[in-house]
Amino acid sequence: MSEHLSFDAVVIGSGAGGLCAAARLAHAGRRTLLVESRDGVGGRTSSVDEDGFCVNVGAVAIEYGGVLEDTFRTVGAPFDIRVPKPATVFRLSGKTVDITRGGWKMLLDGITKKGAGLLAGMGAARKGDLPGEQLTVADWLNSYTKNKTIHAIFRNLCAAIFAVNSEEMPARAFLTYFMQKGAFRDFGFSPTGTGGLMRGLADVVTQHGGEVWTSSPVEAIHVDDGRVTGVTVRRDGEAVRVAGDVVVSNAGPAATVALTGREHFDDGYLARLDRDLRPTANIVVNLASREPLLDVPGIVTFGITRRLCNLANLTATCPELAPPGWELAVAYGVPRPAVGDFDEDAEIEATLADLRDAIPGFDERARILSIRVMRGDFPAQRSIAGLDLPRETPLPNLWNVGDGVREYANGGVQACAETAALVVERILAPVAA
């Protein structure tokens, strides 16, 4: 064991939750160490270069007007995004449908003339009349309609936002998100890639006297007398012991427990972790072309498909993401099942078959830059929405941020930023006399 260092706060993992937490802590005057096992920051909000294209590893859409943007503004990091107009459209029976002004009613009326009952059920959910936790979106929807296109739309919305199928997603969480927390939210794309945007938060840490270590996996979280005392980090081949007054983990609740040791957590917490955490999966296909594959400015959500849920046309607003003369798009598919084991090759092929159906001349026009399957230790989501664990742990100075500990029914990068804001607020709160 080499040098012994000390920080006010140690943040494990530089995904959206970890970056937002570290930047907020550093900005508040806490000397902060941010440690990341990979060779760059961002986690599932990072970007990589693929043959001259700036390709996002996971998240693409960046919401504005909420806690994520507030984090950037608060800590003084640049928040450079460009907003497609319209941001969201639907592709139904070969036609593009913009529901910017008509909302759910316009969407459903365009599919069936028997949507009144479903709209009434959604209206009831908006007023707080929500189904029980055990009812899935598919089952809830079946009570109103058997229309295949409507079922496909709801399935693909579950897949696009939460990386699950409608038969895996609790209807209560879905309806809470779309009916009470605002459907079809405002978002944009970053001309530096999502990773370029998020690196601004890492810069805040170093600007305020903290440090950011990449390629530095945490090997253990140490506990003494019921409190976390620090971590051991593998850095440049050496085990480095780092003391910290508080540890914030963006590694996910399961990994945090494994690093700390199950013996330091009570039975109730462990039972909830083992029962509720259900990692989900998705398939990410990065596509280059000489012309836009679809004439949409932002994200298009599809109707009846095998696995494909949506596609984002990134260079319509951010041409810098591709070399001159090229377009860049990213398509997302969700396997069946999204939770548990599946045949990876077959699910990729089903997603590609959908792309061929949705995009005329796909094989001739599109160049596949890469295909990533996000699952296992690098999942699309660490748990199904609605089944998140609490951010606090049985150890008073150990916290979790990121997905897996989101506010009920929240999703995306915004939800991860929110966890960081809530945790940092608790950490900085004055101790009652």
> Per the structure, how many domains does the chain have?
3
Tell me the pLDDT tens digit for each residue of 374-417. Answer: 999 999 999 999 999 999 999 999 999 999 999 999 988 999 99
Judge if 133 and 160 occupy the same domain: yes
Tell me the pLDDT tens digit for each residue of 56-91. Answer: 999 999 988 899 999 999 999 999 999 999 888 999
Distance CA 44, CA 243 (A): 27
Judge if 23 and 160 occupy the same domain: no
Cβ-in-10-Å burial (0-12, 13-18, 19+) of 128 comes to exposed
Is-contact 245 67, C-beta < 8 A?
no
Judge if 205 and 267 occupy the same domain: yes
The overall average pLDDT reported for the chain is 94
User: Whole domain around residue 288: which residue ranges?
Assistant: 280-374
Give the Å distances, CA to CA, from 152 to 92, 237, 332, 362.
10, 50, 15, 22
Q: Considering the domain boundaries, does residue 422 fall inside one?
A: yes
Instruction: Assess whether pLDDT exceeds 50 at residue 153.
Output: yes
- Choosing from 147, 180, 213, the residue where a domain stops is 180
Q: Are strands 308-313 and 299-302 parallel, antiparallel or unpaired?
A: antiparallel
Tell me the pLDDT tens digit for each residue of 321-359. Answer: 999 999 999 999 999 999 999 999 999 999 999 999 999
Q: Considering the domain boundaries, does residue 66 fall inside one?
A: yes
CATH of the domain at 250: 3.50.50.60
Kindly indicate the confidence band of residue 431, based on its pLDDT and cuts at 50, 70 and 90.
low
Tokens representing 382? 């660490």
Distance CA 316, CA 313 (A): 6
Element containing residue 207 per DSSP (H, E): helix 193-207
Q: Considering the domain boundaries, does residue 90 fall inside one?
A: no
Judge if 421 and 360 occupy the same domain: no
Instruction: Assess whether pLDDT exceeds 70 at residue 182.
Output: no
First to last CA, the chain: 39
Q: Considering the domain boundaries, does residue 85 fall inside one?
A: no
User: What are phi and psi for residue 416, nearest 5 degrees?
Assistant: -70, -40
The per-residue pLDDT for 262 is: 98
Judge if 407 and 271 occupy the same domain: yes
Judge if 205 and 66 occupy the same domain: yes
CATH of the domain at 361: 3.90.660.50
Instruction: Assess whether pLDDT exceeds 80 at residue 239.
Output: yes
Helices assigned H by DSSP within 208-336: 253-260, 267-276
Kindly indicate the confidence band of residue 433, based on its pLDDT and cuts at 50, 70 and 90.
very low
pTM: 0.95
Least confident of 60-64, 299-303, 367-371, 424-428: 60-64
- What DSSP state is assigned to residue 189? B
